A and B are shown apart, each in its own frame.
Chain A
């Protein structure tokens, strides 16, 4: 065995340039895979955090009817007695805040845009959401404000600035038209593009009066620390809520299905990259091993004439390919880790590259990578094994030849 490994190593050194080119191709594939995987992982984790912190909290309590017609945000299906809901949730370790969400057309100057308007309680909203930390112009909402806080992109699209007036046209809970004249108190630029591009925030007290809510709200946002695996907590909350008819709870995972589907699709994309690495290994290693085998047909013939077992000859090529795989995988993983480290610490400013383009992730500005050790180790092992597998066909081809043909081979 030692002899075979030593022979394989010497043969690799003999064709140093070819070995390096093949290993290099494998390495490039692995670097790309580790980079993409780390990037997607980072974007996914950051998106999840940004959904929790800016969009949905850990879960939302709504009426069943409101949930069924969530897209049109019907105020008529609001929770009439939010205090009762808060009462049953006491002692579950859940933090909650009241919100009323409705659709509105926002007018400024001669233009208008449709947006989602969220009426929030400035006193308790900050216990769950981090909107106040993202205000870049003006200030955050205060109770009793006749003002509105706008997402950065929405403010830009409306051409409105802090201190200017806008009008929101909507319908009350009972379907009557209502207009709200509001002063822009602040503009926020959150890491979640969904918030930036089409959301306006007003104080809950203002909405309560203007929309004839009479204390009703469309949702209670909940936060609990176990948000990453919310299933158990949701079961406890469901159990408590069963005493109030017509009320339901949805975890952030249920509410962010669009994102999860995109994340899943992109994770499939990452698997396609692994297949690409596999193809690079297949073409590169097969070709290199084919050349190595055909250059050494007489050598193979001599070894067989001397009584060397076919398995041992095959093993020599297997070790050679394994050596290329090991070299390529080591270089690929080494460089991949460096690239990933840069991605984790510095990231890529996608805004600079793509502007406001929405790519499905709840991330704006700088996209950071994340460490994904399974992918790095898996990529390494996969590179070596794939390389070894692809040496089997060429060496088997040479071993099928008659010994005398091998010895005569020119």
Chain B
């Protein structure tokens, strides 16, 4: 599904070139529940951003369903993200003036889906992530865990091929973090959606069915678990 081939990413910080990724190669199969782990500065977020088409590689190539990402222009990349990718961010990134319902349905309205379908699917996914009855609440009226559930619902409602989660539990306490991971595992099993998340949290790594370890921008381990 995703093929990362000898990808490098170099940032310029002033006059200095920072090598965030140094020739990363890996394949991600459909339905995987995969964690990219490593210490701060290892290149996890950079790799996630490249897979999510939010950034461009300095060299190498990424293929999504055998289509080279580098050949796509800005509009095509936006369309690809809109239709096939879901994102969960560390700090939730919900729109503070919109209710939980509106934050989730927003993802569908971008796809031009009509009103009745939006309503049904939004109520359905919010129930699935355990937020039934809280649909009208604004993000500020929800706990951190509830906000991240809204973010997960927003990522999943459009039934993407893959959800990319950048340190999804970093801003949550361990119990709430576990709840979110349980939810993601359940959704992965139910919908078959591929989950790729970055973390440096041991507990999160334990949930992954496959763990890719990064160090100084290079893959140092790729473990599959039962």
Q: Which residues of A contact B (CB under 8 A)?
A: 3, 7, 10-11, 13-14, 298-299, 301-302, 304-309, 402-404, 407
B83 A307 Cβ-Cβ under 8 A? yes
Cβ-defined contact, B93 with A308, below 8 A: no
Interface residues of B in 42-87 (CB under 8 A from A): 49, 52, 54-55, 75, 78-83, 85, 87
Q: Judging by beta carbons under 8 Å apart, are B97 and A305 in contact?
A: no
Q: Give the distance to chain A from B56, nearest Cβ to Cβ, in Å.
A: 9
Pairs of residues from A and B, 5 with the lowest C-beta to C-beta distance, nearest first: A307-B82, A10-B97, A302-B93, A307-B81, A403-B54
Tell me if A309 and B97 are in contact (CB < 8 A): no
- Rounded to whole angstroms, the CA-CA distance of A305 and B48 in the bound complex is 12
* B54 and A306 within 8 A (CB): no
> A7 to B97, Cβ gap below 8 A?
yes
Q: For the complex, would chain A's binding face be called helix, strand, loop or mixed by DSSP majority?
A: helix
Chain B contact residues, CB within 8 Å of chain A? 49, 52, 54-55, 75, 78-83, 85, 87, 89, 91, 93, 95-98, 106-107, 109-110
Question: Is the Cβ of B95 less than 8 Å from the Cβ of A299?
Answer: yes
Residues of A within 8 A of B85 (CB): 307
Specify the chain A residue showing the minimal Cβ separation from B93.
A302
Contact partners of B95 in chain A: CB under 8 A:
7, 299, 302
How close is B218's CB to chain A, nearest CB, in angstroms? Answer: 20
Q: Are B89 and A404 in contact (CB under 8 A)?
A: no
Residue on B nearest A10 in the bound complex, by CB: B97
Most B CB atoms within 10 A — which of A298, A306, A307?
Answer: A307
> Which residues of the other chain, B, contact A404 by a CB distance below 8 angstroms?
49, 54-55
Q: Say yes or no: A305-B98 contact (C-beta < 8 A), given A407-B89, A407-B93.
A: no
Cβ contact within 8 Å between A308 and B110: yes
Question: Once bound together, how far apart are the Cα atoms of A403 and B83, in whole Å?
Answer: 17
Please state if A14 and B110 are interface contacts (CB–CB under 8 Å).
no
Closest to A304 in B: B78
List the B side residues contacting A306 at CB < 8 Å.
81-82, 87, 106-107, 110
User: Which one of A299, A308, A402 contacts B82 once the chains associate, using CB atoms below 8 Å?
Assistant: A308
Cβ–Cβ < 8 Å partners of A305 in chain B = 52, 54, 81, 87
Do A402 and B55 contact each other (CB < 8 Å), given the known contacts A307-B110, A308-B82?
A: yes
A403 to B91, CA, bound (A): 15
Which of A7, A302, A306 gathers the greatest number of chain B CB atoms within 10 Å? A306
* Shortest beta-carbon distance from B38 to chain A in Å: 18
Chain A to chain B contacts (Cβ below 8 Å), 13 pairs? A3-B109, A10-B98, A14-B97, A299-B95, A299-B96, A301-B93, A305-B52, A306-B107, A306-B110, A307-B78, A307-B85, A308-B82, A404-B49
Q: How distant is the Cα of A407 from the Cα of B89 in the complex, in angstroms?
A: 9
Min C-beta distance of A314 to chain B, whole Å: 14
CB of B202 to closest CB in A, whole Å: 25
Distance of A372 from chain B, by nearest CB (Å): 40
Q: Which residues of B contact A13 (CB under 8 A)?
A: 97
Q: Are A403 and B55 in contact (CB under 8 A)?
A: yes
How far, in whole Å, are A126 and B220 apart by their CA atoms in the complex?
109
Enumerate chain B residues within 8 angstroms of A14, measured Cβ to Cβ: 96-97
Q: Is the CB of B83 within 8 A of A3?
A: no
Name the residue of chain B whose CB is nearest to the CB of A3. B109
Who on chain A is nearest to B96 by CB? A14
Complex interface: chain B residues within 8 A of A7 (CB): 95, 97-98
Q: In the complex, what distance in Å separates the CA atom of A409 from the CA atom of B78?
A: 20
CA distance A299 to B97 in the complex (A): 11
Q: How far is the CA of A13 from the CA of B138 in the complex (A)?
A: 14
Chain B residue at smallest Cβ distance from A12: B97
Chain B nearest CB from A304 CB (Å) reads 7
Min Cβ gap B73→A in Å is 13
Write the chain B residue with the least CB distance to A403.
Answer: B54
Chain A residues, Cβ within 8 Å of B96: 14, 299
Cα-based distance from A304 to B81 in the complex (angstroms):
9
The answer to whether B89 and A307 touch across the interface, beta carbons within 8 angstroms, is no
CA distance A246 to B97 in the complex (A): 81
Could you say which residues of chain A place their CB within 8 Å of the CB of B75? Answer: 309
* Residues on the A chain within 8 Å of B109, using CB: 3
Bound: A13/B97 CA distance, A:
9
List 17 additional contacts besides A14-B97, A307-B81; criterion CB under 8 Å: A3-B109, A7-B98, A10-B97, A10-B98, A11-B97, A298-B91, A299-B96, A304-B78, A305-B54, A305-B81, A306-B106, A306-B107, A307-B80, A307-B82, A307-B85, A403-B54, A407-B89
Chain A residues with Cβ below 8 Å from B97 are: 7, 10-11, 13-14
B154 to chain A: closest residue by CB: A306
**Beta-carbon nearest neighbor of B166 in chain A:** A407
